Structure 1
Amino acid sequence: MTELTKTFDPAEIEQRWYAHWETEGLFHPDRPGAEPWTIVNPPPNVTGSLHIGHALDNTLQDILTRHARLQGKDALWVVGTDHAGIATQMVVERQMAERQQKRTDYTREDFVAKVWEWKEESGGEITQQLRRLGCSMDWANERFTMDEGFSKAVLKVFVDLHKEGLIYRDKRLVNWDPGLGTAISDLEVETREIKGSFWHLRYPLEDGSGFIEVATTRPETMLADMAVAVNAADERYTHLVGKQVKLPITGRLIPIITDDHADPELGSGAVKITPGHDFNDFEVGKRAGIAAGDMLNMLDAKAQVVQVSDGLIPEAFLGLTTAAARKAVVAQLKAEGFLIPHIDKDGEEHDAEPRTIQTPYGDRSGVVIEPWLTDQWYVDAATLAKPAIEAVRSGAIEIVPKTWEKTFFNWMENIQPWCVSRQLWWGHRIPAWFAEDGSIYVALSEAEAQAQAGAGVALRQDSDVLDTWFSSALWPFATMGWPEESSRNLHGRYPNDVLISGFDILFFWDARMMMQGIHFMKDVPFRKLYLHGLVRAADGAKMSKSKGNVVNPLGLIDKYGADALRFFMAAMESQGRDIKMDERRVEGYRNFATKLWNACRFAQSNGIGASSSAIAPDATLAVNKWIIAETIGCVQAVDLALADLRFDGAANAVYQFVWSRFCDWYLELIKPVSIGEEKGSIDPESKLVAGWVIDQILVLLHPFMPFITEELWHAMADPAHARANNLIVAHWPMADAQSIDPAASKEVDWLIRLVSEVRAARNELGIAPGVRMAAHVLDASAETAARIERQTAAIARLARIDLASGAAPVGGALQVVIDETTFVLPLEGVIDIGAERDRLSKAIAAAEKERDTLAGRLGNPSFVERAKPEAVDKARADHADKAAEAERLSAALARLG
C-alpha cells in the first residue's frame, strides 16, 4: 500500500489523475464486443467559460458516463463546442474596436479568417475548465460545429430540406436586434419590466362623423398603422365595421375590421393594427387579407424611421430613432387634439397613463428588440414536429421528469415557422445563390448552383448565415461523421442512450434534435431526455451578474475540490426542482471526502488493504455479515436510483452508507481493543471484509467523486500486487442477495440502536462520555439475552456501560427501552438528580415557550401572507426545532424515574 498523507489535498490529486486518464486514453471507447453506450454534451459556446449551470449539467452527464463504463459498456461521451455565431462575432468585433477597427474595414473572407485565428488562440477555455470538473469526455474526437465534416452535414441538411419544400424563403416578422443588425431567436430575447406609458388616441372617421378611441404603449408605430380592429361581438362598433379612419399625421385611410384579437373588456375595445411591427398585429393583418409583402415597414435595420411604400410619413420624422419618433408623434397628436389626456386619482391631467411594460431586449446587445418585417429563410417546423410529438407520445422518447411532457406538447402542437437565417459573417453561410431576375438556386456548392442556373447567369450568394441552433440540432448524428459512408460507425451510437439538458433549451435544442434526427436518421436521437432545473442563489433568486449573486464553480473547486462540488450537484438534483446554491453544503461534502480519506488511513494503519475478489468474503462474525448486507443494500439502492435518473437518491444512499454505516459504526465495531500499553489488532476475517467493503465504496462513489476514489483505489493496493486496472475501468458491484444473513443484520442493528439510545440519554443528562456506568437488564427475552452475551464487549466499549446482575437499586435512574428490554442505569453518585430535574424542567419550559410563540406567529394569516417566503420558512423550521427540543428534553426528564 502507498501510505496516505495525513491531510487530504484535492488540488494535488485532481490534476495528476485527470492527466493520467486522458494520456492513457481511458475516456475513449475501445471495448470491442461490449454494449455501446452514448451521450452527447450540449456543446457550450466556444466563447464560454464554465458557469454553475454548466457544472450541474456536465456533472450529471459524467456520473452516467462513468457508471456505464464501470458496468462494462463501451461508453462514449461526445464532446465539442458550438461556433456561437453572434457571441463569437461580438467578441472579435469588440477586440477590433479596442484597436479602432471595425468589421467592415475587412473583406468578409478576411474577417472570418480573423475569427478562426481567435478561435485557435482563445476558443478553448471552457474545454480546459470541463477537465477541471473531471468530465470523462472523448477528447480524442472533439468536434466543432464549424469543422469541415460537420459543415458538410449542415449544408446537406439545408439543401435536402429545401428540395423537400421544408425550407423556404418568406417575408415575416422576426425578433430584430438593431444593435447587432440581425434576427435573433426567442432564447436570445430578455424580457425586462420597464416603467412606461399607455397613451389613448382619437382616430377620426373618414366621413367626419366622429372618432374611434385606441390605446397603445407604442404611439410611434401609428405611422405604419394599417387597420383598427374591433370584436365582432362588440355592439358598440357594429355600425362602424367597414368604415375607414383617416390617421392623424399621415392622413392614411385605414379600415375598421373585426378580429377576435380585440377584447371588448380591455380599454376601449378597439386596437390599432400595425402588422409590420407587432407579432399579434401581423397575424391580424394576415387574417384580414393583407399580404406580408404589402405590410408597411417604417424602420430600417438600425431601428430608425424610414419612408413606407405609400410615402405618407412626413419628412420631419424620417431618420428619427424610435424613442425620438415617439416624442415627436405624441407632441403632434397633442397639438392637433388627437391625444386623450389621462386623469389620475387626484384629478390631475397627464398625457399618458403610467404602466409597467414587458419590454424585449437583446441579451447580448442590451438594446430594445424590434419586431421587424424582413425576408428570411424558414423551416416548416410544424411538419417536422409531428413525428417528434408522436415519438414522445409512444414512449420512443421518455421525458424525465414526465411533468415536462405537457409543456412539450403544448409548444410543439402550436409551433411557428422557424427562422434560420442570421445577418452575420461568422457561421455556416446559407447555400443559396440569387440571380438578377429574382430566381434562387439552392445547392451544395456554387458550381452546382451555376449548373442549375445555366451558363452566363450571374449569381450572388446569400450573405446570411444559419442560426446556430440549426447546426447544433444535428449534433447526435453529425458528430459521428454523417453523411460520410466512411465515417465513424453510427451503429449502436445512434440513437444516443440519454440526453441531459436544462429545461430552458427544451425547445431550442432538444426538440429540434428530435425533428432533424427523426427526419434524417429515421429514428429518435435519444431514448431518454432528462431535464434538470436551474441552480439558483441561496435565497432562491435567479443568478445574474447585475444582482451580484453569480457563483463561480472554479472558485468552489479551488476551495473545496471538484469532488465536493460534483457531489453537491448530484445530491441536490431532485427531479423537477431547482437547486439552491449552498456553499456550506459543498464544504460538508468536502468533509465527507476527508472522512473517507481518514477511514482509509485507519484501514492502512491496521493492515487492511484492497480486496483480491469482487465477491464478498466468507464471514462468520455478525458484524461482518451485517456490513456485507449493508453494502449490498447500498448497491441495490444506487442501482435503482440511477436507473430512474434519481441522482439525489443515488448520492444520498452512498453518502449515508459510507458516513454512518461504514465509518461511524463498522470501523468502530471492529476497532481493536488495547490491553494495557499494547495495541490490539483487527481479526483476519474483519480485515478481509473491511478491504472488500472499501473497494465497493470506491467503485460506487467513483461516478460522483472520481478523483479521491481513484487515488484511494491505488493507495489501498499492495505494492507487490498493484492493481492492473484503474478504477475508472473497474467493475461495478453486483448486488448478490445470497450473501445476506438476516439474523446477523438484525443483531447488529439492535446493537446500534442500544448504543445510540444510551449515548443520547447520557448526553441529555450531561454525563461525560468517559464516565462508566452500571446497567441492569429487565425483561430480556431469550433472544435478547443471547445477543447481550455475544455483544457484551462491544456494548461495554461503545456505550461505556458495565452490565450488572441483580435488581437495580432504588433511586433515580436513567432508563433505555429497546424492544421488550429495559436497561436501567442508576444515577446515584453520577449526577445531582435534583439539580438535573430542575435544569431539564427549566429547559423544557423555555423550549415550549419559544415553540408556542412561533406557533402563534405561524397561525396568524397576516404573517404567513405578508412576510417574505424565506421568513415564513425560517419560522417553520425554528418551530419544528423547538418542538423537537421540548420533546427530547421531556423524554430525558421522564428517564430520571
Structure 2
Amino acid sequence: MNPTTPSLPPQYDPKTAEARWQTLWETHKAFAADPQRNPDAPSYCIVIPPPNVTGSLHMGHAFNSALIDTLVRYHRMQGKNTLCLPGTDHASIAVQTILDRQLRQEGKTKADLGREAFLERAWQWKEQSGGTIVGQLRRLGMSVDWSRERFTLDAGLSKAVLEAFVRLYDQGLIYRGQYLVNWCPASQSAVSDLEVEPRDVEGHLWHFRYPLSDGSGYLEVATTRPETMLGDTAVAVNPQDDRYRHLVGKTLTLPLMGRDIPIIADDLVDPAFGTGCVKVTPAHDPNDFAMGNRHGLPFINILNKDGTLNDNGGEFAGLDRFVARKQVVARLETLGVLVKTEAYRHTVPYSDRGKVPVEPLISTQWFVKIDPLAEKALQSLDEDNSPQVVPDRWRKVYRDWLVNLRDWCISRQLWWGHQIPAWYAVSETEGEIGDHTPFVVARSEAEAWEQAKAQFGEGVQLERDPDVLDTWFSSGLWPFSTLGWPDRTPDLERYYPTTTLVTGFDIIFFWVARMTLMAGYFTDTMPFEDVYIHGLVRDENNKKMSKSANNGIDPLLLIEKYGTDALRYTLIREVAGAGQDIRLEYDREADESGSVEASRNFANKLWNASRFVMMNLEGQTPAQWGFDLDPQAEDLELCDRWILSRFHHVLDQTCQHIEAYGLGEAAKGLYEFIWGDFCDWYIELAKARLYSESDSRRTVQQILAHGLEGILQMLHPFMPHITEEVWHTLTQSDDQTYLALQSYPQRDDRWRDPELEQDFELVIGTIRVLRNLRAEAGVKPAVKVTALVQSDSDRERQILQRGTAYIQALGKADTLTLVQSATEAPRKSLAGVVGTVQVLLPLEGVVDLEALLGKLAKDLAKIEKEIKALQGRLNNPGFVSKAPQEIIDGAKAALAEAETQAQILRDRLTLLS
C-alpha cells in the first residue's frame, strides 16, 4: 500500500464520528436553505412536527425524526432546493404544570407571584431547561436548518397568531359563548380533545328508581356517575319504545333534590341499552347537552372548577366529586331507591397533563366556527385529493373527521401562552367579567382603546381577557407561520405549500385537521402535498410503548450503546409498510437490543469492506480512477456485469420505494445488496484479480471505487454519519465538503441485465450449497474437494459453465464436473439442491467417514429424544386442555421441524453407510 494512501481505523467508533459530523454540519451551516438558490430546481420542504418544549426524546420522536431526515436527505441529494425547519411548541398546560409544582414546593401559588412575574419565571425556565428536547434531536443527526428554528411563542409566530385570531373574529368565525367543554380540575382549565386520554377502568354501574310525581310508579335509570344526578333536569326514553310512550310528558320527582323533572322522548336513546331510560344532565354530558338544547331543558351546573360540588349540590356542596359520589350512593340506598350495583368496565376520559378524569362542564369560552373552515378542506380533498394521504386507507378516516368536527374551544384558563387579544369594557361597580360583558378584539392595546372609546365612550375602562389560546391554535398555523406568514416572505413564496408532513396516526385527526382547516382559510391552499402517516413503535411483546405501561425504551441509551445510525436504520428497516406499526426487540434484563445490534453489525460490515476497498485503490479516489467502462466491453467478467446490473437495479428500486414512502422496503433492499451482493460476493470474487497483475485488475479497482461511492450515496439518507465518514476518506475531501450535499447516483439502464442477474443467482446458490455441504461434512477450510453439479437443463449447465471459476474459487473445489445425470456419482456423497440443480460432494478420502457417521447418529439420537418429549406433551390431555393456544401451536411447530430434521439425518446415514 502506498504510504500516503488514506485509510480508515481498524474499528468504527460511532460516538466520535457522529459527534464530529453533527458539529461540522451545524457549524458550517451545511443545511441552511436559500430560497434564491437554484431558482429552476423544484423545492422540497418539511417543517418538523414541533415537540413540546417540556419533552425529552422518546422512541416515537426518534422514529418520526428518522423518517423525516431520510426523506429530506434523499430529496436534497436529488438536487431539490430543500428546507427542513425545526422548532418547538410552548406546551401551555405542561409548562404551567411544572411551574405550579415548583411553586407548591416553595409554599406559593401563581397568584402570589402575579401574572407578570409568573411569565418571567416561565421564560427563565424555558431558557434553562426547555432546550432538552432540541439538544436530543440534534443527537439524531437531523439535517435541519437550525438558523430557522422556531418557537410557537417567538415574536414572528406570536404575530401570526394575533393576526389569525383577529381575522377570524372580524369574519364572524370566532365567538364567545357557553358550551360544554372538557374541564381538567387539576389544571383548572379547559382542555382540547387531543389533551384527553381515554382509559379503560374498572368501575360500577348504579341503578336507581326515580318515582313518578303522581305516585303511580317509577322509572329505573343507570349511571356510572351518580353524583351528576343532582343536576338532572329530565329522564329520556325513545319515542318508539312502547314500554314508556304513555309516560312521555309526565314528571318524576328527583331523589335527594325533590324537584320535578319531565319525561321526554328523544331518538338518541337506545331502547336496547339498560332499561331504555336515561337520566339527562345537560350541564355535564355531551349527549345530554344536545338533548337539553333540543328540548329546552334547564342547564344546572353542580361543579366548581376545582372538582368540588357547588351550591347546586345541596347537602353535598363543598365535597370533592368522588367523595360526593360515595355519599350520594349511600343516601340513595338509605332512601330505598338504589336497585343494584354492578361491576362495570368502561372508558373514562383523563386529562393527559392533570392525570385526573376530566369533567364535561358548561363554561363561557372562545370558540372557532368549524363548518366554514372544514368546507374548504373537504373541497380540496374531494376535488383535488389534496393533501394526498399515504397510506390511502387513512383518507376516509381523515374525511370523516372533517365532516364530524364540532366548534373548537380555543380558550384555556392559563397564563403561559398567547393571551387572547380581547379587552372587556368594565366599570368599577361591575366587578368580575361576566358572560355578557361587552368587549373589543384588537391587534394591540392601543387599537383596543380606540375601538372601546368609539363604542362605549371616553370613560370606559378596559381589562384584558386573562385566558390564553389553545396550543393547537398556534401549531395549526405552523406550516405557514414558520415561513413568515402573514408577510409574503421569500421563504413563504419558495417553500409553501410544504411538500410532506410525516406524522403518526395517533394525532393526525387532531393536529393535521387543525392545519388543513387554518391553511385552507388563510392561504387558500392545503399546507402540504402529502401526509405520510406512520404507525407506532411497539415493544418486544408487540405492545404500544407508554410511560404508564413502563415499557418504553430510551433511544438515548441505544444511541450511546450502538450509535445513532444503527438506531435510525433499525427503526426504518422494521417498517413493513406505510402506516404500519414496528416492533423493536429489546432484552430488558441485559439492556440490549438484538435488532439495533444487527444494524450496528451492518455498519461494521460496511466499514470493514470500505477499508478493504481503499487498501486496494493505491491511494487514488474514485474520481481519479474514473469510470470509463462500457457495458459491451468484452474484457468485463461475468461478475463485473452482474454487480453493475445489481447496483442499478437496487438504485432504481431504492428511488421508487423512497418516492412512494416505502422507506422500510428501501432500507431492506440496500441491506441485502450491500451486505450480500457487494461485500460477501463481489469483493470475494474480486480478490484473486486484485492480487494478480492481470489486465482486469484496473477494471476491478474502478468497479470497487465506483461501487463503494455509489453505495455510500445511496445509503447516506438512512445512515448519514458512517457514510459521511467513509466518503470523506474515500474521496479525500476537506471538512467543508459533504457527502450530504452531493448528488444521488443516477440510474443508468445500459447496465441493467435482469437475465444475467437471475443466471448469476444460480451460480451463487451453487456456491452456497457447496459451502453448506462442506460444513455439514466437517471438511476443513484448507482442504480442496471434488464436486459434481448435475442438471438436465442445457441452459443451466451453460450458466454454471460460465461460473465454474467462481464456484471453484469460493467453494474451494479443485475439480468441478458438470453432468446431465447423477447416476454415476460416487455412492458416499452428500447432496444438496438449488432449484433444479443438484450439488454432490464425494466424501471418501476427504473426511473421516466413521467419525462423520458417529456424529450424524449422535445428532439423530438427540433429535429423536426431543421428538419423544414433544409428542409426550401433545398427547397429554392435561397439557392440551390447560396450556394457552400459542404454547400448543409452538409445540406442534417444534415437533414438525424436529421430525423434518430427523428424516434428513436418516437419509444422510443411509447414503453414507
Alignment of 1:460-859 (within 5 A): 460-485=463-488, 487-574=489-576, 575-582=578-585, 583-607=593-617, 610-612=621-623, 617-618=629-630, 620-672=636-688, 683-717=697-731, 719=732, 725-741=737-753, 745=757, 748-776=760-788, 791-803=803-815, 810-816=826-832, 823-831=839-847, 836=852, 840=856
| Cα distance per residue 1:489-529 (max 9 Å; x no partner) | 32231111110001111111111111111111111101110
| Cα distance per residue 1:413-461 (max 9 Å; x no partner) | 1111111110000000111122247222122122222222223322221
User: Is the alpha carbon distance of 1:747 and 1:233 closer, same or farther for their aligned partners in structure 2, counting shifts above 3 Å?
Assistant: closer
8 Å contact kept, 1:813–1:825: yes
8 Å contact kept, 2:808–2:816: no
Query: 1:689 is aligned with what amino acid?
Result: I
Q: 2:363 aligns with which of 367, 374, 377?
A: 374
8 Å contact kept, 1:392–1:399: no
Shift of 1:607: 2.7
| Cα distance per residue 1:186-228 (max 9 Å; x no partner) | 2222233333222221212112222222121222111111001
* DSSP 3-state at the match of 1:459: strand
How many residues are matched? 874
Aligned to 2:188: 181
Q: Percent identity?
A: 44
Alignment of 1:420 onto 2:434? no
* DSSP 3-state at the match of 1:663: helix
| Cα distance per residue 1:657-699 (max 9 Å; x no partner) | 0000001001100113799xx9999811101110100001100
Shift of 1:272: 0.9
* DSSP 3-state at the match of 2:178: strand
* Aligned mates of 1:328, 1:722 — CA distance in 2: 77
Alignment of 1:396 onto 2:378? no
* DSSP 3-state at the match of 1:504: coil
User: Is the alpha carbon distance of 1:301 and 1:788 closer, same or farther for their aligned partners in structure 2, counting shifts above 3 Å?
Assistant: closer
User: Is the alpha carbon distance of 1:179 and 1:872 closer, same or farther for their aligned partners in structure 2, counting shifts above 3 Å?
Assistant: farther
Alignment of 1:331 onto 2:330? yes
After superposing the two structures, state which structure 1 stretch, 367-376 or 645-654, moved more: 367-376
User: Is the alpha carbon distance of 1:184 and 1:820 closer, same or farther for their aligned partners in structure 2, counting shifts above 3 Å?
Assistant: closer
| Cα distance per residue 1:830-880 (max 9 Å; x no partner) | 345577567657756876896899799999999999866865785587467
| Cα distance per residue 1:699-723 (max 9 Å; x no partner) | 0110000000000001112x5x769
Query: 1:523 is aligned with what amino acid?
Result: T
User: Is the alpha carbon distance of 1:278 and 1:656 closer, same or farther for their aligned partners in structure 2, counting shifts above 3 Å?
Assistant: same
User: Is the alpha carbon distance of 1:248 and 1:640 closer, same or farther for their aligned partners in structure 2, counting shifts above 3 Å?
Assistant: same
* Aligned mates of 1:540, 1:855 — CA distance in 2: 30
* DSSP 3-state at the match of 2:683: helix
Query: 1:715 is aligned with what amino acid?
Result: T
Shift of 1:367: 1.9
Aligned to 1:98: 105
Shift of 1:814: 3.0
Query: 2:538 is aligned with what amino acid?
Result: R
After superposing the two structures, state which structure 1 stretch, 881-890 or 514-523, moved more: 881-890
8 Å contact kept, 1:189–1:362: yes
Shift of 1:20: 0.6
| Cα distance per residue 1:230-269 (max 9 Å; x no partner) | 1112212122110111112211111000112322222221
| Cα distance per residue 1:403-422 (max 9 Å; x no partner) | 11222222221111111110
RMSD over aligned CA atoms reads 3.1
8 Å contact kept, 2:572–2:667: yes
Shift of 1:331: 2.5
Alignment of 1:387 onto 2:412? no
8 Å contact kept, 2:789–2:839: yes
Shift of 1:724: 7.9
* DSSP 3-state at the match of 2:778: coil
* DSSP 3-state at the match of 1:430: coil
Shift of 1:788: 5.8
8 Å contact kept, 2:220–2:275: yes
Alignment of 1:221-300 (within 5 A): 221-290=228-297, 294-300=298-304
Aligned to 1:304: 308
* DSSP 3-state at the match of 1:672: helix
| Cα distance per residue 1:381-406 (max 9 Å; x no partner) | 23312222232333221111111122
Gaps (5+ residues) in structure 2? 427-435, 586-592
* DSSP 3-state at the match of 1:492: helix
Shift of 1:37: 0.8
8 Å contact kept, 1:434–1:440: yes
User: Is the alpha carbon distance of 1:153 and 1:875 closer, same or farther for their aligned partners in structure 2, counting shifts above 3 Å?
Assistant: farther
Alignment of 1:2 onto 2:1? no
Aligned to 1:347: none
Query: 2:608 is aligned with what amino acid?
Result: N
Query: 2:700 is aligned with what amino acid?
Result: S
| Cα distance per residue 1:267-310 (max 9 Å; x no partner) | 221111111111121112112123xxx411011101111123xx
* Aligned mates of 1:702, 1:371 — CA distance in 2: 51
Q: 1:195 aligns with which of 194, 197, 202?
A: 202
Alignment of 1:27-46 (within 5 A): 27-30=31-34, 31-33=37-39, 34-46=41-53
| Cα distance per residue 1:99-129 (max 9 Å; x no partner) | 3332111121221111111112221111111
* Aligned mates of 2:381, 2:891 — CA distance in 1: 43
Q: 1:18 aligns with which of 16, 22, 36?
A: 22
Aligned to 1:348: none
Alignment of 1:149 onto 2:156? yes
8 Å contact kept, 2:503–2:533: yes
8 Å contact kept, 2:689–2:700: no
* Aligned mates of 1:640, 1:615 — CA distance in 2: 25
Aligned to 1:408: 398
After superposing the two structures, state which structure 1 stretch, 685-694 or 732-741, moved more: 732-741
After superposing the two structures, state which structure 1 stretch, 724-733 or 150-159, moved more: 724-733
8 Å contact kept, 1:761–1:892: no
| Cα distance per residue 1:518-561 (max 9 Å; x no partner) | 11111110111011111111101222233321100000000000
Alignment of 1:170 onto 2:182? no
Shift of 1:373: 0.7
* Aligned mates of 2:119, 2:715 — CA distance in 1: 46
8 Å contact kept, 1:816–1:895: no
8 Å contact kept, 1:764–1:892: no
Shift of 1:361: 2.0
| Cα distance per residue 1:154-183 (max 9 Å; x no partner) | 111111111222211121111111010001
Alignment of 1:107-122 (within 5 A): 107-122=114-129
After superposing the two structures, state which structure 1 stretch, 47-56 or 322-331, moved more: 322-331
Query: 1:700 is aligned with what amino acid?
Result: M
* Aligned mates of 2:899, 2:492 — CA distance in 1: 61
Shift of 1:789: 6.0
Shift of 1:97: 2.7
Aligned to 1:439: 438
Alignment of 1:126 onto 2:133? yes
**Superposition TM-score, scaled by structure 2 size:** 0.90
8 Å contact kept, 1:155–1:431: yes
8 Å contact kept, 2:797–2:818: no
